[in-house]
Amino acid sequence: MSGGHGHQHVPSRQELAAMAQKPLPGSLRTISLVLAAVGFAIFIYGAATGQDRAWQAFQFNWMFFWTVSAAGVAFAAVQRITTARWSRSVVRMLEGMVAFLPVGVVLLLVTLLFGLDHIYPWATHAPEGHEKALWLAKGFLIPRDLLAAGLFAGLGLWFVYNSVRMDVAILPEAGLGWAKGLREKMRAGFGHERRELHTQHSLQGKIAVAMCIIFGFGTVVLAWDLSMSADVHFQSTMYGWQVMMGGWVAMLMLFALLVRWFRDQMGAGEIIGEQQFHDIGKLAFAFTAFWGYLTFSQYLVIWYGNWSEETHFFNLRLSGVWKGWTLSYVVLAFILPFFGLMGKYPKIWFPTMATFAVSGLLGIWIHRYIELYPSIYGETTTLPFGLFEIGCFLGYLGLWGWTYTSFMDAFPKIRVFMMTSEYRDEVQIPVNAETMEPLPAHE
């Protein structure tokens, strides 16, 4: 609820509950399951018949969907750290991305145990340098990557559980049957609103800080190990940050689309409007600029350094069959969104925001492809893109859609508690959750 004038209707808890618990079209989960079944059937066929490209497509799509989902949950954590109020009506749409994370960890485990030999040259032939051979040894790489992904997924689930708990506890029972027992557990022992508010807020603050640290470092490690390492002769200190920020930008573009769709689906025009559209559009514009800065800075340093162990990375991607795809992600992920979203109205008018959001998402997806494939195939006359790349994308899209919609239909889609509790703005002044007394002034 974004402030307003005296004549503005402020929805009651009951009205918000009706919006938050309105079910999504059942066809969404059906379509998602069909896409997942078809897409992963294509992957399984390729893997079973010894097609390396099936694993390569599996991996670059994993990087795309994982970084977007992890960024969404990390963004929700940022909202807690900053005690943001503007996003209370929309942040659950990002918290729902946590549903993909445990599935993502399982899919990563599949790659680490069975797919490395089909993707990375170092998995079958150890690199010459002692340090790289040590870093890329499977006995060291597999545990650290599982730790990076698993720890973030675990903290994300804990964080979102505590966020959802406050809404489930105050609203009538509703939602998909698979989560009925979980909702009952959330309600059990829920005390007075004011004490619960401060207890949960304090706990979430601690979890959120840990999440953001692990998101930053863990995503960089995963980028080194599962993307940059495909070219064992290339290394860049900016590579991991560019991968992480690409996922962050794609998440914001997806967020812009989801917010508009959910507003219409829930009939939530009174609580989701121009303010949220503009804020999300500004974030999408700002981080598109930052991603462009990182991308160009990496290129510029390598260009003027002119060391062959670095320049070969970009020379390859800017020549032959790779050139068009490399330039396309620059246009789609940076040029179009950056110049298109400079003004206010392109951010709040749906046709323009949707156009640039889809452009950004497609551009980052192509970037994930270009990060990996040229390092594997080198100078080739035929672009390795076809059935497996599209099939794995559809499989991941379906799986992501199924986990996301299953979560959003199992729990309230709006943070009703934080929008209606009479104590909601007390969180701007931290208190001791035991004594309920304000804490001393802090930095």
**DSSP 3-state of 431:** strand
Give domain status of residue 4, yes or no.
Answer: no
Number of helices (H) and strands (E), helices first, in the chain? Answer: 19, 0
| CB burial of residue 139 (10 Å; 0-12, 13-18, 19+) | exposed
Q: Would you place residue 3 in the very low, low, confident or very high pLDDT band (cuts 50, 70, 90)?
A: very low
pLDDT, tens digit (0-9, with 9 covering 90-100), for 265-304: 999 999 999 999 999 999 999 999 999 999 999 999 999 9
For 104-163, write each residue's pLDDT tens digit. Answer: 999 999 999 999 999 999 999 888 888 899 999 999 999 999 999 999 999 999 999 999
CA distance 437 to 441: 12
pLDDT digits (tens, 9 = 90+) for 190-201: 988 888 998 888
- Establish if 8 belongs to a structural domain: no
14 belongs to a structural domain: no
Token reading at 192: 């007075």
**201 found inside a domain:** yes
Has residue 308 been placed in a domain? yes
Question: To the nearest whole percent, how much of the chain has pLDDT over 70?
Answer: 95
Q: Is residue 103 part of a domain?
A: yes
Q: Output the furthest CA–CA distance in the chain (Å, rounded).
A: 72
* Domain carrying residue 240: 28-428
Instruction: Say whether pLDDT at 75 is over 80.
Output: yes
CA proximity to 393, closest of 62, 23, 82: 62
Distance separating alpha carbons of residues 101 and 67, to the nearest angstrom: 10
Residues near 306 by beta carbon (within 8 Å), at least 6 away in sequence: none
What confidence score (pLDDT) does residue 8 get? 61
Number of domains in the chain: 1
DSSP class of 98:
G
Instruction: Specify whether the CB–CB gap between 46 and 289 falls below 8 A.
Output: no
Most confident among 40-49, 81-90, 126-135, 173-182 (mean pLDDT):
40-49
Which of 333, 329, 307 minimizes the C-alpha distance to 374?
Answer: 329
Do the domain assignments include residue 434?
A: no
Quick check: is 169 in a domain?
yes
